[in-house]
Amino acid sequence: MAMTYCPLFSGSSGNAALLEAGNTRLLVDAGLPGRTICCALEGTGRLPESLQGILITHEHSDHIKGAGILSRKYDLPIYANAGTWEAMEGQLGKIAAKNIRIFETGHEFFLGQLAVFPYAISHDAAEPVGFSFYHQGSKISQATDLGRMTPDVLEAVKDSDLLLLESNHDVAMLKAGRYTYALKQRILGNKGHLSNDAAALACVRLAGLGVRHFILGHLSRENNFEELAYKTCAQALTDAGARLGESGDVSLYLAHRDRPTALFTVG
């Protein structure tokens, strides 16, 4: 049976993704108002009451804003590691004790028919993670909010059938933009966000490690353009000898900041 993945929103104004495998249907992050996420889900033909839980990557508000209200309204478990729970608990409002679920970073766990592997990433949060999901021989991974692409992240997401990868900013745009010096340094640092150039290099490396379908996500509204992110990565892949397109070696897509992107199915 196939896995289905849909980036509902991907950017600094809010992040949420839908993941399905067999009878398991989850949100990965819930960083917008609950009503906004529900409308997006309904636009894909899914009702919010059909969800079985919410997975959280880290405690920043663009990843958890709607998690508390969705948990309370639909009696949904929220899954996060201990460091993230401690950092975000005060922001969520009251969560039923039975819906507080704690996983351990670096240790696989199961939700229904889905295996989940949370791996450590480099970001300025308490205990941030990315996720790789496994179901009946298929693998989907999500790697955003990365200050840098580490060997451990490469190892975690290699051989993914589909990967959502951060391509947050163009370095020249960021440096010339209106952000404060401190914010620019944060974004450019090892615990900030992955640039277009860094994402392009990562895609080239990962294409050689078995990844065939990439979605570029978490694009900055201020310091990036969809066309620029796509062109930077596409050029790097073609320069490395990859053939782009559905019939080629690698497929490349973009996740939208403000609306669902598409339903991607693997397996």
> Do 47 and 73 contact (CB within 8 A), yes or no?
no
- Specify the 3-state DSSP secondary structure of 162: strand
* Mean pLDDT confidence for 192-199: 97
Tell me 242's DSSP state: P
pLDDT(247) > 90: no
**For the chain, domain boundaries:** 3-266
What pLDDT score does 21 carry?
A: 96
pLDDT(97) > 80: yes
Cα 113 to Cα 224: distance, rounded to the nearest angstrom: 37
User: What band does 110 get if pLDDT is binned at 50, 70 and 90?
Assistant: very high
pLDDT(175) > 90: yes
What pLDDT score does 248 carry?
A: 81
pTM across the whole model: 0.96
Q: Class assignment of domain 3-266?
A: alpha beta
- Give pLDDT tens digits for 212-227: 999 999 999 999 999 9
User: What does residue 168 show for φ and ψ, rounded to 5 degrees?
Assistant: -75, -45
pLDDT(245) > 90: no
Question: What are the C-alpha distances in Å from 178 to residues 169, 181, 184?
Answer: 14, 9, 9
pLDDT(239) > 80: yes
